[in-house]
């Protein structure tokens, strides 16, 4: 971060001449800590602009004075992209005041929103219009659309609808020199040069600040059908996924895999969460179908279950008989990350693999890690799109503090295997600051060279989220 200056009182005075005094916020731990409590940041100023013009004014002032900027959304990121722990104290630029729904265009199946709108607010606005915005995350009540785009968020419905890159048609953003890019196109076809939209999506604030987006909406399924099936292994789960595709086609909204450890953690930390099975299976899949009127989802799920029984893939199952029971199934799944936080992970991994490589990865990584110590592994995630959350915990009754010395060895085991099997060390959480060295190690050299050239060209002063994604 050589050559950058801190956002000190002298800079505050200069900035105050450019923006409304109401933009300034008191320094607060809210903006400087990650959800897991592992990272702690610094800041010289916290600013919350109310419109894109004020964002541009802040960026221009930072560029003129070589002051670093850290964009801040809902603060739910898990890899430190929103937290700068060292270097000159930055301006933390919060999007909390830019949360308007600018346009609802039901005939076009499009909604235009500001970056500070929460994911839940966008879901509710779509629902009010009789449509669906399909991104669904455990943090949807607090995560913001700008952060979802900056990390190319996925969630549970990627199998059917894709990730944020697939759900966005246009972006408004402020570039590192303070220019406003008015790219809120709703066009399906636009071949006018390089795709700046896709460059900014997933860039984690390192190439500019997303201030608004036009997003795709979809017809809302008239009914959801949900089932939990106990499967013998991840291999069996993959075979069942293939048959589910044969039976339900594009109606599959989600296909999740859950290891028994996840249910054990819920029992240990949140006994009020109702578990679906009296005795939790070693592996469970959660299948959800979103269907239109006239389609018999229960019959489809029964066909999938019967196939699983006949082929020796499935040995137990439940089909939700009400909206409430469906909610109970999902409630158990969505509380597993909360239970993880309460137990305290030694190492957490968000990885993706080719589907055929998933069982081998789970088998080999689990065997290698448990040779290090009597560690517990909680593997769960979005099997339909190859995304696993593979987290490692201390033995029952012990805390992670005694095992943190194994963290590097665990991460090396996981990332080496992912790399060997043609996967990615980051499926949906991004690189942030915690995975920068891993990207340097496992990233394709030609790709890394291009990424650094793009960063240098668009942000020659290196003020945009320094230290995130690429090594400083």
Span 19-31, average pLDDT: 95
Checking if the pLDDT of 308 tops 80, the result is yes
pLDDT at 405: 97
Q: Per residue, what are the HEC states of 107-173?
A: HHCEEEEECCCEHHHHHHHHHHCCEECCCCCCCCCCCEHHHHHHCCCCCCCHHHHCCHHHHEEEEEE
Token pair listed for 206 = 């390192």
Maximum CA extent, the chain: 74
Distance CA 334, CA 137 (A): 8
At 85-95, the pLDDT tens digits run: 999 999 999 99
Distance CA 201, CA 359 (A): 30
Compute the half-sphere exposure of residue 28: CA atoms within 13 Å on the CB side of its CA: 11
At 433-471, the pLDDT tens digits run: 999 999 999 999 999 999 999 999 999 999 999 999 998
Distance CA 35, CA 56 (A): 29
Specify the 3-state DSSP secondary structure of 392.
Answer: strand
At 249-280, the pLDDT tens digits run: 999 999 999 999 999 999 999 999 999 999 99
**pLDDT band with cut points at 50, 70 and 90 for residue 36:** confident
Tokens 């029952």 sit on residue:
396
Token pair listed for 222 = 């008239």
Distance CA 399, CA 397 (A): 7
Backbone dihedral region of 466: left (phi > 0), alpha (psi from -120 to 50 degrees) or beta?
beta
Checking if the pLDDT of 414 tops 90, the result is yes
At 191-233, the pLDDT tens digits run: 999 999 999 999 999 999 999 999 999 999 999 999 999 999 9
At 39-66, the pLDDT tens digits run: 899 999 999 999 999 999 999 999 999 9
Distance CA 38, CA 344 (A): 10
Beta bridge partners of 319: 227
pTM for this structure?
0.93
CB count, 10 Å around CB of 95? 25
**Edge-to-edge strands of the sheet including 168-174?**
101-105, 110-114, 209-216, 168-174, 180-183
Distance CA 173, CA 36 (A): 29
DSSP code at position 403: G
At 144-181, the pLDDT tens digits run: 999 999 999 999 999 999 999 999 999 999 999 999 99
Distance CA 297, CA 98 (A): 40
**pLDDT band with cut points at 50, 70 and 90 for residue 1:** low
Secondary element (H or E) of residue 86? none
């Amino acid at each position: 971060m050589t050559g950058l200056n801190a956002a000190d009182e002298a800079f505050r005075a200069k900035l105050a001449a450019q923006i409304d005094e109401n933009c300034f916020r008191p320094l607060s731990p809210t903006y400087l800590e990650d959800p897991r409590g592992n990272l702690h940041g610094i800041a010289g100023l916290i600013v919350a602009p109310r419109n894109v013009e004020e964002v541009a004014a802040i960026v221009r002032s930072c560029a003129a004075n070589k002051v670093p900027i850290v964009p801040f959304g809902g603060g739910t990121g898990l890899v430190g992209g929103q937290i700068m722990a060292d270097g000159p104290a930055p301006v933390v630029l919060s999007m909390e005041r830019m949360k308007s729904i600018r346009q609802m265009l039901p005939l076009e199946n499009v909604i235009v929103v500001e970056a500070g709108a929460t994911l839940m607010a966008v879901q509710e606005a779509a629902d009010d219009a009789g449509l669906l915005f399909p991104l669904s995350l455990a943090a949807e009540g607090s995560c913001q659309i700008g952060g979802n785009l900056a990390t190319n968020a996925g969630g549970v419905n990627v199998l059917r609808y894709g990730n944020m890159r697939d759900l966005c048609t246009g972006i408004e953003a402020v570039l590192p020199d303070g220019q406003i890019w008015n790219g809120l196109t709703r066009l399906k076809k636009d071949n006018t040069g390089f795709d700046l939209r896709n460059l900014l999506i997933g860039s984690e604030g390192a190439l500019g600040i997303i201030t608004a987006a036009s997003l795709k909406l979809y017809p809302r399924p008239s009914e959801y059908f949900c089932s939990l099936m106990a499967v013998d292994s991840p291999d069996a789960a993959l075979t069942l996924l293939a048959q589910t595709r044969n039976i339900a086609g594009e109606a599959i909204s989600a296909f999740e895999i859950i290891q028994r450890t996840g249910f054990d953690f819920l029992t240990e930390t949140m006994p009020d969460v109702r578990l679906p099975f009296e005795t939790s299976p070693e592996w469970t899949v959660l299948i959800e179908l979103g269907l239109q009127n006239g389609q018999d989802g229960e019959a489809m799920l029964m066909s999938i279950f019967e196939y699983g029984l006949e082929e020796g893939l499935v040995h137990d199952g439940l089909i939700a008989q009400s909206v409430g029971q469906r909610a109970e199934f999902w409630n158990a799944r969505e509380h597993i990350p909360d239970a993880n936080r309460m137990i305290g992970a030694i190492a957490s991994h968000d990885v993706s693999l080719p589907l055929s490589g998933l069982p081998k990865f789970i088998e080999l990584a689990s065997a290698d890690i448990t040779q290090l110590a009597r560690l517990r592994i909680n593997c769960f995630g979005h099997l339909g799109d190859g995304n696993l959350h593979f987290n490692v915990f201390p033995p029952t009754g012990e805390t992670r503090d005694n095992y943190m010395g194994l963290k590097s060895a665990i991460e090396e085991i996981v990332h080496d295997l992912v790399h060997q099997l043609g996967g990615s060390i980051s499926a949906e959480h991004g690189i942030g600051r915690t995975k920068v060295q891993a990207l340097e190690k496992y990233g394709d050299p030609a790709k890394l060279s291009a990424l650094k050239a793009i960063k240098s060209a668009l942000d020659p002063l290196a003020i945009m989220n320094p230290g995130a994604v690429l090594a400083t």
